[in-house]
Amino acid sequence: MPLSIKTLQLPRSVLLGIAILLVGCASVNPYYDATKKHHRPDGFNNNYIDNWRADQPSFFAWQRERWTKTLPPQDPARVRVLAPDLAYLNANRSDVSVTWVGHSTALWQLGGLNILTDPHFTERSSPVSFAGPKREVPLPMQLSALPRIDVVLISHNHYDHLDARTVRMLNEQPGGPPLFIVPLGLDLWMKAESITNVHRMDWWETFRVKVATGEVTIHFVPVQHWSSRTPWDRNATLWGGFVAQAEVNKQPYSMFFSGDTGYSKDFADIGARFGGFDFSQIAVGCYLPRWFMQEQHVNEEDAVRIHLDVKSKLSMGVHWGTFRLCDDAIDAPIDELPKARRKLGVADDAFLLFALGETRVLARGLKTQE
């Protein structure tokens, strides 16, 4: 009998890594479309830089630099944590709300659906559980305390955004798995993990999610980043951001999630196409050193520019306050975001930093009979 994932009693992630090693030097993009400029036969490109990648020489130069300097001090105690209103979250079927869980993980309640962005509920951002960047501030709640999740939006496959253990927990949640909406290529990773309730998307594609409690329209949009889970699969899967739209009290309501990104013209494109957003979730942290991070992660000033480009009424900063993945302190946005708002003329209450566990009710919906 030929060897397979089923016959070998090894962790699925290890087996997937072996498979990538075997085919990595000759990877083929199964979704390649020669009419789309961001497609390559072996993977994907960004729109506005020529196949930029955080390649290994640059990465190791950064690591050598870290040995020769002292990183800025950080104070995790400055990151506020609130006890989440779990009773409200579990009962809500009509309001639009957002709850920050940490890093890029947030619970969106929109159109009667519970939506998680880039869910991460374990202690390390790493391929292994015993090493790698650890959670500097405790989770405000466990995954099991949240209401049943209808939809999971995964922006790309980096370990701080695609956590295998969390995904498996979600797939086994009571009441059945959520729908995982993922970029092109990540559906194959999901399949290797025996996760089948998956919808893959390319940039600018649209998908309508309808469940008993409501419906939401999801769009997948381009941002400037890259993908990799091993040294051999660089840019083999797509990355991007999400737009979610629904009706609230017979009025349209729209939300935007940037995923991970460098600053680019993509955001002006998004703003022009959608005409603005009621709420945006925009990365603000993990941006030093700039010589290495600038093309892949925005700083606070870039984040405020994104807020303006996409024409957001209210934005929340994420990708900070949880894991120290870059040289900047996890609490740096507390000081730097106000400076960026002032510089670019954005009101203090238009771009906020939530506390971990904090819920904001963005729009009140009409109550329906259970």
d(CA 150, CA 177): 8
pLDDT of residue 15: 43
**Residue 232 burial (CB count, 10 A):** 15
Say whether pLDDT at 9 is over 50. Answer: no
In the chain, the percentage of residues whose pLDDT exceeds 70 is: 90
At 13 the pLDDT is: 46
CATH number of 30-362: 3.60.15.10
**Helices 266-274/300-309 angle, 10° precision:** 30
**In this predicted structure, what is the pLDDT of residue 127?**
87
- Band the pLDDT of 219: cuts 50, 70, 90: very high
The answer for 184, left when phi > 0, alpha when psi is -120 to 50, beta otherwise, is beta
Percent of the chain beyond pLDDT 90?
A: 79
Q: How far is CA 170 from the centre of its chain?
A: 16
Least confident of 24-38, 147-161, 248-262: 24-38
- 2-6, 143-147, 224-228, 279-283, range with the lowest pLDDT: 2-6
Name the token pair of 181.
């909406």
Is the pLDDT reported for residue 207 higher than 90? yes
Q: What is the rounded CA–CA span in Å between residue 245 and residue 208?
A: 9
For the chain, what's the residue count? 370
Beta 279-283 vs 179-183: how paired, if at all? Answer: unpaired
Average pLDDT, the chain: 90
Within 10 angstroms of residue 340's Cβ, the number of other Cβ atoms is 21
Tell which residue, 231, 262, 263, 227, has the closest CA to residue 40.
Answer: 227
* 361 DSSP assignment: E
Which 8-state DSSP code applies to residue 78?
G
Separation CA 13–CA 19 (nearest Å): 10
Closest-CA residue to 343 (of 313, 291, 305, 311) = 305
Between CA 74 and CA 38 the distance in angstroms is: 38
Q: What does the pLDDT read at residue 265?
A: 98
The Cα 69–Cα 83 span in angstroms is: 37
Token representation of residue 308: 């303006």
- Give the pLDDT band (50/70/90) at residue 334: very high
Q: How far apart are CA 121 and CA 230, in angstroms?
A: 21
